[in-house]
């Protein structure tokens, strides 16, 4: 990670100082190539002369080659935003107790996703991803039949999952 960071600092410095028109850096999973396109007026054979004649134009090219893992991560993170909503808390206690409560909830027949989150020094089990308080209120009525102490909490929720359209591979 630190090696990648140093490469990212080194590449633009080489280009700005005119030490190179094209610079490449490669780590285990990422290849970065930067090209600086100088205007005809400032193009020269030496970096010093280019530095003296003025800055390069805004035109340039960045090319990134990466592994499939980085590509899939980048694609999955496109447009990710925090989605505010509501969840229902059904348990608060130690980590082991919270994991057991979550397992029991999942086996209990209620069709809501469950999450174990830290609430230092304890852990809480939250269920559901409700976009509105009224959705959470309807679910709370159903959940309270088994978990009488359950209540609604506002927070960040997972975005809804949409079924893949016909013809899309998944």
Specify the pTM.
Answer: 0.51
d(C-alpha 32, C-alpha 17), whole Å: 18
How far does CA 139 lie from the centroid of its chain?
A: 29
**Which residues have C-beta within 8 Å of that of residue 37, sequence separation ≥ 6?**
56, 57, 59, 60, 61
Q: What is the pLDDT along the chain (170 residues), one digit of tens a residue?
A: 445 445 554 545 554 555 455 555 555 555 555 555 544 444 444 333 333 334 445 566 677 677 777 777 777 777 667 789 999 999 999 999 999 999 999 998 889 999 999 999 999 999 999 999 999 999 999 999 999 999 999 999 988 776 655 555 54
Q: How many CB atoms neighbour CB 118 within 10 A?
A: 10
Closest CA to 156 of 121, 119, 126: 126
Write down the domain spans for the chain. Answer: 2-77, 83-157
Superfamily of chain region 83-157: Sporulation related repeat (3.30.70.1070)
pLDDT score at 21: 54
């Amino acid at each position: 990670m630190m090696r990648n960071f140093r490469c990212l600092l080194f590449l633009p410095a080489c280009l700005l100082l005119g030490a190179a028109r094209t610079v490449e850096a490669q780590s285990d999973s990422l290849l970065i190539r930067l090209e600086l396109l100088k205007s005809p007026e400032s193009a020269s054979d030496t970096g010093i002369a280019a530095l003296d004649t003025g800055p390069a134009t805004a035109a340039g090219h960045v090319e990134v080659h990466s592994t499939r893992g980085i590509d899939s991560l980048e694609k999955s993170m496109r447009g990710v935003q925090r989605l505010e909503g509501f969840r229902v808390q059904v348990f608060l206690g130690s980590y082991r107790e919270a994991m057991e409560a979550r397992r029991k909830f999942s086996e209990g027949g209620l069709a809501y996703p469950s999450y174990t989150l830290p609430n230092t020094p304890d852990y809480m089990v939250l269920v559901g991803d409700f976009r509105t308080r009224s959705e959470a209120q309807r679910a709370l009525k159903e959940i309270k039949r088994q978990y009488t102490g359950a209540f609604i909490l506002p927070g960040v929720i997972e975005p809804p999952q949409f079924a893949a359209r016909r013809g899309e591979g998944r």
